[in-house]
Amino acid sequence: MSKQKKHPPTPKRARIVDVANAAGVSTATVSRALTGSGRVGPELMQRIEEAVVATNYVPDSVGRALRRQRSDLWAVIVSDIRNPYFVELISAIEEVASLEDQSLVLYNTDELQVRERRFIGSAVAQRMSGVIIAVASEQDSDLSALEEAEIPTIVVDRRVQGFSGDSVVLDNIQAGKLAAEHLLKLGHTRILGLFGPSAASTTFDRYIGFKAAYENSQNRNYGTSSLLTDIRADQAQAVTAHALRGGLRPTAIYAANGALSAGAYRAVQASGLRVPEDISILGTDDTPWATMVRPALSVITQPVAEMGKVAAERLVKRNQNPEVEPLHLVLSPELVIRETTGPIHQ
Amino acid sequence: MSKQKKHPPTPKRARIVDVANAAGVSTATVSRALTGSGRVGPELMQRIEEAVVATNYVPDSVGRALRRQRSDLWAVIVSDIRNPYFVELISAIEEVASLEDQSLVLYNTDELQVRERRFIGSAVAQRMSGVIIAVASEQDSDLSALEEAEIPTIVVDRRVQGFSGDSVVLDNIQAGKLAAEHLLKLGHTRILGLFGPSAASTTFDRYIGFKAAYENSQNRNYGTSSLLTDIRADQAQAVTAHALRGGLRPTAIYAANGALSAGAYRAVQASGLRVPEDISILGTDDTPWATMVRPALSVITQPVAEMGKVAAERLVKRNQNPEVEPLHLVLSPELVIRETTGPIHQ
DNA sequence: TTGTACGCGTTATCAG
DNA sequence: CTGATAACGCGTACAA
């Protein structure tokens, strides 16, 4: 005699035992048949398949996850969900996830440590099978909880202190260098550099690379004024506008991320200055508008789709074999010269 | 102090029973203390809190979900994850989810029924506490599985046949009407209309609204040629380019979604025609580039952030009380006149 | 090859 | 206010 109305008023959903009964076999056999984890006779297989259809059975992921101690969930933790760069990254990861029958859990830290901490805790609590993360801070982000929980973790876009697992990042020093060399070659010495957000390793590296290239050049007496800050697009616009109104205004601007590029472009547009005759603009990341504006934006680009794909595939591999040697992939940026960068013109 | 472990060196996470032992209470009391589902004496509460810290306990979401028959997961199913419109929608939903301690599972159907079907199955299998969906097809999308599983479902952006639950959509007929009236007022009669994707109710409604406004106007002998199709941005560009080369070319273009707007804009740019003197362009959705290009794009916009927020909050409410009357919210589009639309000019 | 039985971690029920 | 305990649905030793 079983009690009937015990738990919440749940709707009836077929369980594995219902399938077993319908097929006249045991639950173990049904499980084996459905997961392919053991040999099952052809005639039983047939009966089970019919029973699955008849009962409209869908395996319960929660029960399965509890038993397996691992859910079919990947977390993707990014610092800014609206940034087209991350959208592209997420999109690439999603493609692989879908292929692997994994569900993508999206977390947006908004560059905030507290949120990141919470999300990592969530991933652990839900026993996710993987985490791909663009950390909020190189110094302060803490991935140890993931390590302890033995959740495969791939660090993308930004480095983290104290993490030695898989990582897929850009050669950001090279990105900064590429930018500087391009502007140097065009004769620019008075440059406004916009860098941010300050806690990201990408920011730091681009800044270092950019500065180093200038200091190593013949042209030592340059007058770069670089802002390494946490401003967003609209503030970048204000800062740029201010710089353009100054007496000794820059002849070129280098914006080290997508949002800053937009702010800079807008400010220049509003200033009425001619581009690139009066001022050059070199942006970062191939945002959709880069090729729609006139003049079209010259940029330093990243192979972001590849980064996402590689990171996701790495997750798959590490789940198959946790012992594989950590991957430390560093991809190369590219300079795409369009119309906003030109020789200095007095 | 070391715990005795079984042979496998698998580092075990603290369970609720570990906390209970450390605090010298029962698991039931720990559970009540942590979930706040029952009153617990202050001294025990104190001990339990200490024990939680001491054991570094994190409640296991999987075990909880199994017991509760409901996980802390929301699915967001959209048809195109790269569309800035959906990015904005997702972003708004994520904000609420984070507040509610729900994790967002992102599914991208890419307008494909098969994928949508799979994702819905996934949401059911994982016993998610809610689904927000922009369906792939008004006619063919099937939400009955969610209904059977009693998963609160909010339909956004696009209608679905046979669904009578909560929905948050735009008045798309009005959107089409707004577009037509604006162009009518400017004197345009030869218009290229770009509509898509064909299976979406948004497409249909905008088309109907647009057409109706023209037919109801004094100006009956208009020559709109409307393409209702599944083309994407690059194909829209080709189609537009072709139309512009024709002998009797349109004096205005209405693009009924973001991607088509981009294609149209690019084609016009390449044609060398003056905007809006030679040709007007009216786009849809306030994509980031709309205000960066010159001339800036006139558009029909939607309150997308509000749509996401309302949908998410509705999910919360329905989880609290499944019996509330279904919400059928229809929001209003707005016409934002910028620089790409002007009076006809022979 | 197939079946039995147990446990994954949690919470709701029930009794005290 | 607290404790003991029975499920939730599944996969897998172990037994047959």
Quick check: B108 and A98 CB within 8 A? yes
List CB contacts of A234: < 8 A, sequence separation 6 or more: A263
Quote the pLDDT of residue B345: 77
Quote the pLDDT of residue B25: 97
E strands, A152-272, where? Answer: 153-156, 166-170, 191-195, 225-228, 252-255
Quote the pLDDT of residue B152: 98
Q: Is the pLDDT of residue A341 over 60?
A: yes
What's the whole-number mean pLDDT along residues B76-92? 97
What's the whole-number mean pLDDT along residues A6-27? 82
Query: Torsions phi, psi of A152, nearest 5?
Result: -55, 130
CA distance A81 to B91: 7
- B301 vs B232: which has the higher pLDDT: B301
List CB contacts of A226: < 8 A, sequence separation 6 or more: A192, A193, A194, A195, A207, A210, A211
Q: Nearest CA to the C1' of D11 belongs to which residue?
A: A67
A41 touches strand D (CB under 7 A): no
Q: Is the pLDDT of residue B8 over 60?
A: no
CA distance B121 to B124: 5
What's the whole-number mean pLDDT along residues B53-68? 97
Average pLDDT, rounded, for chain B: 93
What's the whole-number mean pLDDT along residues A90-100? 98
- Grade residue A223 by pLDDT with cuts at 50, 70 and 90: low
Instruction: Tell me B289's DSSP state.
Output: G
What's the whole-number mean pLDDT along residues A234-238? 89
Quote the pLDDT of residue B57: 96
Q: Is the pLDDT of residue A205 over 90?
A: yes
State both tokens at B71: 């996980």
- Grade residue A214 by pLDDT with cuts at 50, 70 and 90: confident
pTM of model > 0.85: yes
B28 touches strand D (CB under 7 A): yes
Q: In this prediction, what percent of chain B has a pLDDT beyond 90?
A: 87
Q: Is there a contact between B222 and B189 (Cβ–Cβ < 8 Å)?
A: yes
Cβ–Cβ contact B149 with A under 8 A: yes
**CA of A28 vs C1' of D14, distance in Å?**
13
Quick check: A294 and B292 CB within 8 A? no
- Grade residue A11 by pLDDT with cuts at 50, 70 and 90: low
Cβ–Cβ contact A1 with B under 8 A: no
- Grade residue B346 by pLDDT with cuts at 50, 70 and 90: low
State both tokens at A335: 């300079």
Run of H or E including A313:
helix A304-320
Strand D bases contacted by the protein (CB, 7 Å): 1-13
Q: Is the pLDDT of residue B1 over 50?
A: no
In tens, the pLDDT along B273-283 reads: 999 999 999 99
**CA of A17 vs C1' of C5, distance in Å?**
14
Run of H or E including A208:
helix A201-216
In tens, the pLDDT along B137-149 reads: 999 999 999 999 9
Determine if the peptide bond prior to A295 is cis (ω within 30°): yes
- Grade residue A7 by pLDDT with cuts at 50, 70 and 90: very low
Cβ–Cβ contact A77 with B under 8 A: no
Q: Which residue from B11, B59, B66 is facing A125, i.e. has the nearest CB?
A: B59
What's the whole-number mean pLDDT along residues B85-109? 98
CB atoms under 10 Å from CB of A319, counted, come to 16
Q: Is the pLDDT of residue A117 over 70?
A: yes
Residues of B from 59 to 88 whose C-beta is within 7 A of strand D: which are they?
66-67, 69
A221 touches strand D (CB under 7 A): no
Quote the pLDDT of residue A167: 98
Q: Which amino acid is at A264?
A: A
A158 touches strand D (CB under 7 A): no
CA distance B96 to B308: 9
Question: By CA distance, what is A99's nearest residue in B?
Answer: B115
Question: Residue holding tokens 């800050």?
Answer: A229
Q: Is the pLDDT of residue A109 over 60?
A: yes
Q: Which residue from A13, A82, A150 is facing B87, i.e. has the nearest CB?
A: A82
What's the whole-number mean pLDDT along residues A74-98? 98
Average pLDDT, rounded, for chain A: 93
Question: Residue holding tokens 């610092």?
Answer: A79
Q: Is the pLDDT of residue A6 over 80?
A: no
Find which of B35, B62, B142 to mutate to test the A interface (most A CBs within 10 Å of its CB): B62
Mean pLDDT check: name the lowest of A12-16, B6-10, B11-15, B113-117. Answer: B6-10
Cβ–Cβ contact B269 with A under 8 A: yes
What's the whole-number mean pLDDT along residues B33-43? 93
Alpha helix ranges (H) inside chain B:
16-23, 27-35, 42-55, 61-68, 84-99, 113-125, 144-148, 172-185, 201-216, 233-245, 258-271, 304-320
Q: Is there a contact between B141 and B113 (Cβ–Cβ < 8 Å)?
A: yes
Cβ–Cβ contact A233 with B under 8 A: no
Question: By CA distance, what is A121's nearest residue in B?
Answer: B58
What's the whole-number mean pLDDT along residues A98-103? 98
**CA of A121 vs C1' of D3, distance in Å?**
30
Cβ–Cβ contact B83 with A under 8 A: no
Question: By CA distance, what is B149's nearest residue in A?
Answer: A11
Q: Is the pLDDT of residue A2 over 60?
A: no
Quote the pLDDT of residue B215: 87
Q: Which residue from B58, B88, B94 is facing A121, i.e. has the nearest CB?
A: B58
A294 touches strand D (CB under 7 A): no
Strand C bases contacted by the protein (CB, 7 Å): 1-5, 7-13
Find which of B61, B76, B102, B114 to mutate to test the A interface (most A CBs within 10 Å of its CB): B61
Collect all residues of chain A within an 8 Å Cβ-Cβ radius of residue B63: 66
Mean pLDDT check: name the lowest of A235-239, A317-321, B3-7, B326-330. Answer: B3-7
What's the whole-number mean pLDDT along residues B52-58? 96
- Grade residue A215 by pLDDT with cuts at 50, 70 and 90: confident
- A218 vs A239: which has the higher pLDDT: A239
In tens, the pLDDT along A276-302 reads: 999 999 999 999 999 999 999 999 999
Q: Label each residue of A20-43 as H, E or C.
A: HHHHCCCHHHHHHHHHCCCCCCHH
Quote the pLDDT of residue A233: 84
Q: Tell me the β-bridge partners of B77.
A: B107, B133
Residues of A from 58 to 77 whose C-beta is within 7 A of strand D: which are they?
59-60, 62-64, 66-68
Nearest chain A Cα distance for residue B88, angstroms: 7
Q: Which residue from A94, A104, A292 is facing B265, i.e. has the nearest CB?
A: A292
Q: Give the residue from B162, B119, B90 showing the smallest Cα distance to B307.
A: B90
In tens, the pLDDT along B223-238 reads: 667 777 777 788 899 9
In tens, the pLDDT along B236-263 reads: 999 999 999 987 889 999 999 999 999 9
Q: Nearest CA to the C1' of D5 belongs to which residue?
A: B28
- Grade residue B68 by pLDDT with cuts at 50, 70 and 90: very high
Collect all residues of chain A within an 8 Å Cβ-Cβ radius of residue B58: 121, 124-125
Cα dihedral B180→B204→B307→B305 (10° resolution): -60
A274 touches strand D (CB under 7 A): no
